[in-house]
Amino acid sequence: MTDSFFQLSANLASIAKGFHTRGWLLGTSGNLSAVVQRDPLRLAMSPSGIDKGELTPEQLLTIDENARIVSNHNGKPSDESLLHLRVVNDRGAGAVLHTHSIWNTILSDLYASDGGVKIEGYEMLKGLQGVRTHEHSEWLPIIENSQDMPALAEVVGKTLNEHKDAHGFLLRRHGLYSWGDTLAHAKRHIEILEFLLETMGRTSLIGKV
């Protein structure tokens, strides 16, 4: 275990615990990854079926560019490793995080017929990498859910290509993916998008008193 892998694993475990506390990774749902090295690619990846509130750095797996395990062979990588790898490759991301929150689940279904959620006019958007003003308009694409991971990875790749400015995407009735150059950026992006989805969901309900 290299220093870099160990540090990333500790940070991934810490983020997993925090997100689990917020209810974004309940029931062993969701997964997290971070690039350990690029050439050849080595990705630290959360294992399948582990309680994210109890994830330890030692449980993180290393996978290669084909989602094969190259360390911790008694663990099983998440089925969604192919989606993480696609984001890493197509976006050059240094980390990819995937959450199952109540609000992202609801909005991924509510806006499915629109093909995505348009989020604009919020100061919080300025926290997304490259965004300089609240007047930014973010399009968060929604992809139909599927259990066929190679096929879904293709759709993800196509979506990333069509929406080159997107900082994340939703899988319908499933969850949110976001990423960043570093793990800290990816964490920030998830927090921002979760905040904005909840804000939009609740805004639809509110009136003056």
- Interface residue list for a second copy (CB under 8 A): 18, 22-23, 26-29, 51, 53, 100, 102-103, 105-107, 109-111, 121-124, 127, 132-134, 145, 147, 171, 173-175, 184, 187-189, 191-192, 194-195, 198-209
Q: Which is nearer to a second copy, 66 or 147 (CB)?
A: 147
Least distance (Å) between residue 184 CB and a second copy:
7
Least distance (Å) between residue 91 CB and a second copy:
19
How are strands ordered across the β-sheet holding 168-171? 69-71, 61-63, 41-45, 31-38, 95-99, 175-180, 168-171, 137-143, 116-120
Contacts of 205 (CB under 8 A, 6+ apart): none
From CA 36, how far away is CA 90, in angstroms rounded? 17
Least distance (Å) between residue 119 CB and a second copy:
10
Which tokens sit at 181?
């150059």
| CA neighbours closer than 13 Å in the CB half-sphere of residue 19 | 34
Least distance (Å) between residue 85 CB and a second copy:
19
From CA 69, how far away is CA 200, in angstroms rounded? 39
